[in-house]
A and B are shown apart, each in its own frame.
Chain A
Amino acid sequence: MKLRVNPILCDGYGHCAELLPELVELDEWGYPIMPREPVSRSLEPAVRHAVKMCPRLALSLEKRAR
């Protein structure tokens, strides 16, 4: 499972970096930098919560890493 962000929808609210400090960092303009590695199984519930909480619905947890 891989965490992805739709850069067109993302508006830099920064909720994902607050909810997933282990995975997401913000760049200097406040936009998220996604992790390269697949999401570990133990973090999956937290990631699903963050996907739900995104104010722009720009996050997604995808099965296959592209």
Chain B
Amino acid sequence: MRSLNNPIIWYLMRGSGVVTLILFTVVVVLGIATTRRFRTARLPRFVTLGLHRSISLLAVVFLGIHIATALADSYAKVSLAQALLPLPSAKYGLWLGMGALSLDLLAAVIVTSLLRHRMSQRVWKSVHWLAYASWPLAFAHSVGIGTDKAAGWFLDTGVACAGLIAVTLVWRLLALRNPYPKYLGTAS
């Protein structure tokens, strides 16, 4: 691929990376919140699931921009193989490979979700669980690669994303202990 030596590409790559992390976090949080045991009259559950689906589409768009700009930028020096496969890199150590691995796992999640109507629910669900491995890898990739590590806003964003995931996970695990909640009715 022809390299572009343009600072705008470099900034676009960093910006789209941060936006992808935030959107990916929101998608995972909404996914964790999609459970049979979660019932409120205020927020209908088709909203949770609908947002989970539409925001994941948005996240894929930003991830596409992030990868395309990383490949195009002459300063980033990322090869196609490094973007797609977990390979070690002299410039980024293991952090670039973590992003690539996260992408591969995410690709499996996306493909099975697009073909969900044509496969068994059990297979779909077990592949969907890979999201729990993909998110921490994406998080490590964002924080570890370190371009914006010194910036306070970047650390705040990282802490907020990790915290949000942790709180939702704890909430869901607590909800799991009560498998038959009292039915509160639909929002109608």
Residue B34, interface by CB 8 Å: yes
User: Which A residues lie within 8 Å of B188 (CB)?
Assistant: 18, 21
Residue A28, interface by CB 8 Å: yes
Q: A21-B186, A53-B49 are in contact. Are A9 and B121 (CB under 8 A)?
A: yes
Q: A64 to B80, alpha carbons, bound, how many Å?
A: 52
A57 touches B45 (CB 8 A): no
| Secondary structure call for the B interface | loop
User: Which A residues lie within 8 Å of B172 (CB)?
Assistant: none
User: Which A residues lie within 8 Å of B153 (CB)?
Assistant: none
8 closest Cβ pairs, A-B complex? A18-B44, A21-B188, A30-B183, A15-B46, A18-B46, A18-B186, A13-B36, A17-B186
User: Which B residues lie within 8 Å of A13 (CB)?
Assistant: 36, 45
A12 touches B187 (CB 8 A): no
Residue B117, interface by CB 8 Å: yes
Known: A53-B49, A55-B49. 7 other contacts (CB 8 A): A18-B46, A21-B186, A26-B183, A29-B180, A30-B183, A55-B34, A56-B121
Q: A8 to B39, alpha carbons, bound, how many Å?
A: 21
B186 touches A26 (CB 8 A): yes
User: Which A residues lie within 8 Å of B187 (CB)?
Assistant: 18
Interface residues in B58-79 by Cβ distance below 8 A to A read none
Tier of interface size on chain B: 10 to 19
Q: A41 to B186, alpha carbons, bound, how many Å?
A: 25
A19 touches B39 (CB 8 A): no
- The residue that A14 contacts in the complex, of B39, B116, B121, with Cβ under 8 A, is B39
For A16, give the chain B residue with the smallest CB separation. B46
Residue A11, interface by CB 8 Å: yes
B46 touches A11 (CB 8 A): no
Show 10 A/B contacts (Cβ-Cβ < 8 Å), sorted by A.
A9-B121, A13-B45, A18-B45, A18-B188, A21-B186, A28-B183, A30-B36, A30-B183, A52-B117, A56-B121
User: Which A residues lie within 8 Å of B186 (CB)?
Assistant: 14, 17-18, 21, 26
Question: Per-position contact with A for B81-115: 1 when CB-CB < 8 Å, else 0?
Answer: 00000000000000000000000000000000000
User: Which B residues lie within 8 Å of A57 (CB)?
Assistant: 116-117, 121
Residue B50, interface by CB 8 Å: yes
Question: Per-position contact with A for B167-188: 1 when CB-CB < 8 Å, else 0?
Answer: 0000000000000100101111
User: From residue A38, how far is it (CB to closest CB) to chain B in Å?
Assistant: 23
